[in-house]
Structures are given as structure tokens and as C-alpha cells.
Amino acid sequence: MARRHSSSSLFFTPLSSFLLPRGGDTLWYLLALLSIFSLLLHHLSLSASADSHFEGFDADDDESLDDDSSLHLTSIPLRTPPPPSVTLTSSDSESHHGPPNPSPKSPSDSSPPSDLHPKPSSTAFDYWDEDEFEGLPVVESETPKSTDSVSDSESDSDSKTKQEPEAVKAPRSLKNYVIEIVCGSFLIMFAINFFTGKKENERIALAWATKFATRDSIFDRNFSLLGVGEGNDSPLLLKEGQNVFRFYASGRRFCQGLMATMELKSRHDLISKLYNLVVPCKDEMTFEVYMNDEAMDCVVLALARKKAGKTMVKEVRDLQKFASLVSPPSGRKWVAEDLAVVSESKEVAGDLITEVVLEQVFGDKAFEKYGRGFISMHFSDQHSGAHKKMLVFKFALPDANHMDEMTRLVALVPYYIDLIGRYKLSSQARSKPEAARLKAAQEAYKELQNARQEALQKKKAEQRKLQEEAETKLSAEALRKKEAKERARQMKKAGPKVKMTRGH
């Protein structure tokens, strides 16, 4: 026993001396132990990372595969979902890098494999190669097909439901475009009416000019210059609008000239045309004759239809001051019952409404036949405007095919130019018109003076207001100086006046 104990003590002595170094070598021993331990851990980590890869794949390939999958994920076709559950068992013949062996096939797996490949579960790999695993059975399940068929039917039904509203919306009825149709129709009608109405007005104006302003017509025989120009090729009519035309004539005794204005219906305007259907109006023509100052005596006369005559007496200024309605004289022919005479005196009315005029136009029988287009005529030496002495005739125009109806009315223009130019009042009849004109001149002068006084007072009031506004802006010292200056001026004005004389 003593020997055994001694041999055991001899055996453990060198081992303890190896594991437990002496005091001087303790530090170097610990460093060597730590380095060996770190090399062991590094070797274990490398073996673990090698076990995580399949056989035939490298780490670099995996990294490139991950990069490609992340970049081109959307371009990789998705596969059908995997079967519900597949149990795998480990095999002794395969290495730890190979795929696990599948479980025994069930009777349901005996069916032939379908064309669609199963997709592995999302917990294993998102995308994997089918050729890598050999002998792995493909299990079919009827549930995905049913879900696919259901999803296809739902998608078809959804597409049909989406197409049905589009098919319903496509054939929109005309009721949805009522406003557009009405506006478009109105614009088309307006354009057509514009050109047709414009053409109709031009046709009426040219028909009148052809009848009364061409060669050997009434105005050609009574005036030396017709139209707007001086040459022979100058136009007879001046168009100032789609419904306004003017005609000029000059070169006749007793007058400076004549201007005729045709104001036709607004046939080119559809709205005005519709309005004229409710409130009818006529095509009118106005002749204004500008008489010479020495050729016209004191004459104020108006002849119009009764309703228009009463309106003229109330509205026309010279008729208000100098004229009044004249009753029919006894013992002679007079104008038709539909007409009213407004004159300064009965003598003037009797002298200017002659027998010739009554027989031609203004008599009872003649007016029914030739006076349908007559509106009014107004002669005055006190006319309001640039020209004081004027003759104004206003007639209604017939249509273009019946211009002959106003021949006698147009003939009144040169007739009254000569009649008024030669007419002179008697001494007895002259006194009353001259007194009335003198009184009117004095009233006009007073009105002018009153207007001037009002203008001066208004100007002074404005200046005073400006001075007051300026005083409010002055300082106290400036106001004190101004008041002192005003006080000195008032005292000087109120003081006695002293006359200084030189001594001899």
C-alpha cells in the first residue's frame, strides 16, 4: 500500500506542476489559455456557418441570390400555394446538407402530378429551385383549385359588374343635352337671321336709292350734288350700321343741303326681331333740310297725326313756346281728320297748307290713298340745335317692292323748300311772332345770366372751402398773423378817406 501511494503521488506531482504553474509564469499561462480558447470558438463558428448552407452552394452565391431577389422581386412569377402539410423524416444515408426524406405516400398522393408546381411555405424559402430536391413528392389538394375557381368566378363577376355600368352609361339620352341643343340652335338661328336681316335692310335701302336718287329722279332734278362724295362714282348711301343708312344732297336755292336718314328695323338682331313681333315698329326715314338764314321767315308749324301732334306740343321745345293746336278754319278745305295742325298762328297754317298739298296728300281722299306712310313734318326758325332754321320730314318706308307708294310724300320735300324760301309774313302777322321771339330771347338771356351767376357762386364756394381747409392746417402763430393782417385791412377800410392836394 505504501508503494501504491508513493507511485500515485509521483504520478500526480508532475501533472499538478503542469496545470498549476509557478508564480513567475502565471501571466504567460493565462494568455496562452485564452488564445487557445478563442481559436476553438472561431473553429466552432465556422463549422456552424458551413452547416447552414446546402451542398453545392457558397456564401457568395447566396448573397448574390439575395441581392437579385431583392432587386427583381416583382419580375419573378409567383407559384401556386403549397399543400397544406407535408411531414419530413431524417435519413441516415443522406448527409446533413441534403434535403429530408418525405413521409410515406398516402393514397391520395397516388394521383398523377399536376402541371402547377407547389410553392413552399413562407417560413422556409420565398423562392426555391425544384431540381435541388430529388424525390420530393408533389401533393395536390383540391382546396386551392376550388379557391382559384371561386376567385376566378368572383373576378369575372366583378369585371362584368364593372362593365355593366359602363355599358349603361354609354347610351346617354338626348334629355341630358337639352341646354346644349337649345344654345346651339339659338346660335345657328341667330347667325342665319343676321345674314338674312342684313341683306333685307340693304335691299330696302338700295330700292329707295334706285327709285329717288338715281338719274332723272326727284332728287336728281332738284339737287346738283347727290351722295357722300364729289365724283360721279361716289356712293349714294353711307352705311352707318346694319340698319342705319344716310343720304346727302346739296346744290339748291334757299337751303344749305339735305340729309336723309333711314332707320330700318333691326332685322339682323334675332332678339329685336322677336320683340318687334310683340311691339311692332316701322322702317322710318327722316329728311332734315338746313335752310339759309335769310330764306326763312318767322315760321313755326307742325303737322302730324293727332296722337303724335299732342305729344309734340308737350315735348318739343319751340312748339311749347310759340305754337299751339289750330282748329280747322271754316269755309275752306282742311287736312284729314286723322291729322292735327300745330302752328304759331292761323295765318301761317293757312298759307303753308295749300290747296295743292291738300289735293295731293293731306286731303281726306288723298290721305287715305297716299298718306299711309306719313308720320309728321315740322318747320321752325327756332329749332333747338346747331341749325336754327330747319325743315324736318318723317315718313314710314314701305317694303322694297312698293317704293312707288311714297312718291308723293318725297315730293313734299322740294315743294316746301321753295314755298318756305319764298314765304313772307304780312306786317300784321309779323308783329306777334317778333314780340314772342323778343321775349324768348330775353328769357334765354336771363337764363344764361343766371347760369353764369350760379357758376361764379359755385366757384367762389369751392375757393372758400379750399381756404378754410388750408386754415385748419395752419399753425397758431400763422393764424394770429393772418387775423392781425385782416384786422388792419378792416380798420383801414373803415377809416376816413383823406384827399391829398398839392399846394401852389
Distance CA 92, CA 95 (A): 7
Question: Three-state SS for 283?
Answer: coil
Provide mean pLDDT across the span 307-323: 89
Mean per-residue pLDDT, 70-81: 44
DSSP string, 420-445: HHH----HHHHHHHHHHHHHHHHHHH
Q: What are phi and psi of 394, to 5 degrees?
A: -135, 120
357758376: which residue's cell? 455
337 phi and psi, to 5 degrees?
Answer: -65, -25
Q: Does an H or E element contain 393, and which? A: strand 390-396
3-state SS assignment for residue 392: strand
Contact (Cβ atoms closer than 8 angstroms) between residue 261 and residue 239: no
For the cut 60, the answer to whether the pLDDT of residue 61 exceeds it is no
pLDDT digits (tens, 9 = 90+) for 251-307: 999 999 999 999 999 999 989 888 988 988 899 999 999 999 888 988 999 999 988
Is the model more confident about 95 or about 472? 472
Residue 69 has pLDDT above 80, yes or no: no
Backbone angles phi, psi at 418, to 5 degrees: -70, -40
List pLDDT tens digits, range 152-190: 555 555 555 555 544 445 556 777 888 888 899 999 999
pLDDT at 499 over 70: no
pLDDT for the residue numbered 70 = 45
Assigned C-alpha cell, 429:
302777322
Is the sign of the CA dihedral 356, 357, 361, 364 positive or negative? negative
pLDDT for the residue numbered 302: 93
Residue 342 has pLDDT above 90, yes or no: yes
In Å, how far from its chain's centre is CA 252? 52
Model pLDDT, residue 49 = 53
C-alpha cell read off for 449: 345770366
Answer whether residue 10 shows pLDDT above 60: no
Distance CA 157, CA 159 (A): 5
Burial of 80 (0-12, 13-18, 19+ CB in 10 A): middle
Residue (of 267, 132, 264) closest to 196 by Cα position? 267
pLDDT confidence band for 25 (50 / 70 / 90): low
Tens-digit pLDDT profile for residues 185-236:
999 999 999 999 999 999 999 999 999 988 889 999 999 889 877 766 778 8
Task: Report the percentage of the chain scoring pLDDT > 90.
Answer: 28
Q: How far are the Cα atoms of 231, 297, 489 from residue 476, in angstroms, in the given order?
A: 77, 69, 20
102: β partners: 88
Sorted by sequence, the CB contacts under 8 Å of residue 176 that are 6+ apart come out as none
Check the CA dihedral 259-260-265-269 and report its sign: negative
Mapped onto helix, strand or coil, the DSSP state of residue 397 is coil
Q: List the grid coordinates of 278.
A: 310683340
Question: What is the average pLDDT value for the chain, to the nearest integer?
Answer: 75
Of the candidates 382, 378, 377, the one whose C-alpha atom is nearest the C-alpha of residue 434 is 382
CA distance 27 to 157: 82
Q: How far is CA 326 from CA 172, 303, 379, in A?
A: 73, 10, 15
Q: What is the pLDDT of residue 384?
A: 81
Helix locations, 237-323, DSSP H: 270-278, 306-315, 317-322
Task: Give the percent of the chain with pLDDT over 70.
Answer: 66
Domain residue spans in the chain?
A: 183-433
CA distance 300 to 380: 4
Q: Are 344 and 301 in contact (CB under 8 A)?
A: yes
- Measured between alpha carbons, how far is 388 from 495 in angstroms, rounded to an integer? 56
Give the β-pairing of 374-380 and 324-326: unpaired
pLDDT tens per residue, range 444-497: 888 889 999 999 999 999 988 888 887 777 777 777 787 888 888 888 777 776
Backbone angles phi, psi at 89, to 5 degrees: -120, 150
Q: Which residues of 459-474 are buried (b: 16+ CB within 10 A; e: fewer)?
A: eeeeeeeeeeeeeeee
Query: Residue 409: its pLDDT value, please?
Result: 94
pTM of the model: 0.58
In what helix (H) or strand (E) does residue 457 lie, and over which residues does it extend?
A: helix 427-473
For residue 254, give every residue at least 6 positions away whose Cβ sits within 8 Å of its Cβ, in sequence order, or none: 291, 292, 295, 296, 417, 418, 420, 421, 422
Extended beta strands in 194-281, E state: 225-226, 237-239, 244-250, 255-263
Half-sphere exposure of 54 (CA within 13 A, CB side): 12
Tally of helices (H runs) and strands (E runs) in the chain: 15, 12
Over residues 353-400, the pLDDT tens digits come to 999 999 999 988 899 888 889 999 999 988 887 888 999 999 999 998
Distance CA 140, CA 2 (A): 80
**Closest to 406 (Cα-Cα) out of 239, 252, 253, 208:** 208
Q: What is the DSSP letter of 361?
A: I
- For residue 46, what pLDDT is reported? 64
Model confidence at 105, in pLDDT bands (50, 70, 90)?
very low
